[in-house]
Amino acid sequence: MTILRSLAVRTFSSARSLRALSPQLVEAPGTLSRAIGRDKALMQCNRMLTRSFCSTEAPGSKSQEVDLNRLDGENKGIVEVLMCRERARNSLGRVFVSQMRDLVSVLHHDSAVRVVVFRSMIPGVFCAGADLKERAQMTNAEAELFVYGLRSLMNEIAALPMPTIAAVDGFALGGGLELALACDLRTAAHTAQMGLIETTRGLLPGAGGSQRLPRAVGFAVAKELIFTGRRIGGEQALELGLVNRAVPQNQAGDAAHKEALGLAREILPQAPIAVRMAKEAMNRGIEVDIASGMAIEGMCYARVIPTRDRQEGMAAFIEKRPPRYTGE
């Protein structure tokens, strides 16, 4: 893990360096234009990043299928969950789920994290859903136990105290869409394909999809999508309320990720305790009647009153300056 995190810093730094150097690269003889050359260079860099993150740490060791990237500088407080099971298109196998669970547990107890972005390092795919080859080797009892654990993982992602964003730049099918639904917010490229396709495989959504999709798009639309197993693109997902933002895909194939980072940067300056309490109030309140929801809101509000951030917010307003929140 330590080795991979060091590699992450180096490779992301390399990506930034490539952007800076790309004009020189594309002015070489034989290139069509500066813009096209830059896009090709960025796409090549993305492939290099994927190979770096998705490589095996050492001969005979278990490959890293999920990792963390903690951003720094003006993006400090944003953490990316990097999904990089290249050969299986980020399908939800035993190792992938185990590593994801470990990282989610780490994030849950990290008060320095203000926003989490789930993204794929595999071009053209967010998460392809269940690992059907692995699932085919399981007994009925093993499959039932595994899906129970998968449902538990999605609940743990949904229960993260800070805002979470799924950046869907490609296919998010079955369990892949259920992972995105477990996040608070979703961004998607227009070319992304999303769907709960389990009924086409003789199954039904088993990791929260039958519950979270109706809450996102309404009962009638959710039933239509699940009954038919239909896939929809990013633009239609925006129209239905399945995603918060949809953008045209770019040459580098990371338009949804860029949009997710922009959204994360809008959240970053806000008071982190207040944001966490607002999330808790909404998540818990939506499950109960409005009178109980009001009581939950009151309890969450009471936890914000004694914070230094609240005092800082009032002082900044009076002094007509931007607030400097510390999460205390």
Q: Which residues are paired to 92 by β-bridges?
A: 130
> Which residues are CB-neighbours of 278 under 8 A, at least 6 positions away?
300
Nearest to 66 by CA among 47, 44, 88: 88
Radius of gyration of the chain (CA): 21
CA distance 82 to 264: 16
Can you tell me which residue has the tokens 């007994």?
Answer: 139
Nearest to 131 by CA among 159, 97, 101, 104: 97
Active-site residue (options: 86, 178, 259, 297) = 178
Q: Is 198 a catalytic residue?
A: yes
Confirm if 47 and 123 have CB atoms less than 8 A apart.
Answer: yes
Can you tell me which residue has the tokens 């199954």?
Answer: 203
CA distance 210 to 178: 9
Residue 115 phi, psi (nearest 5): -145, 140
Active-site residue (options: 65, 80, 86, 198) = 198
Max CA separation in the chain (angstroms)? 70
Q: Is 130 a catalytic residue?
A: yes
Identify the burial level of 138 via C-beta atoms within 10 angstroms of its C-beta, where 0-12 means exposed, 13-18 middle and 19 or more buried.
Answer: middle
Tokens of 98: 């185990």
Active-site residue (options: 8, 88, 130, 166) = 130
> Which residues are CB-neighbours of 228 under 8 A, at least 6 positions away?
199
Active site residues: 130, 175, 178, 198
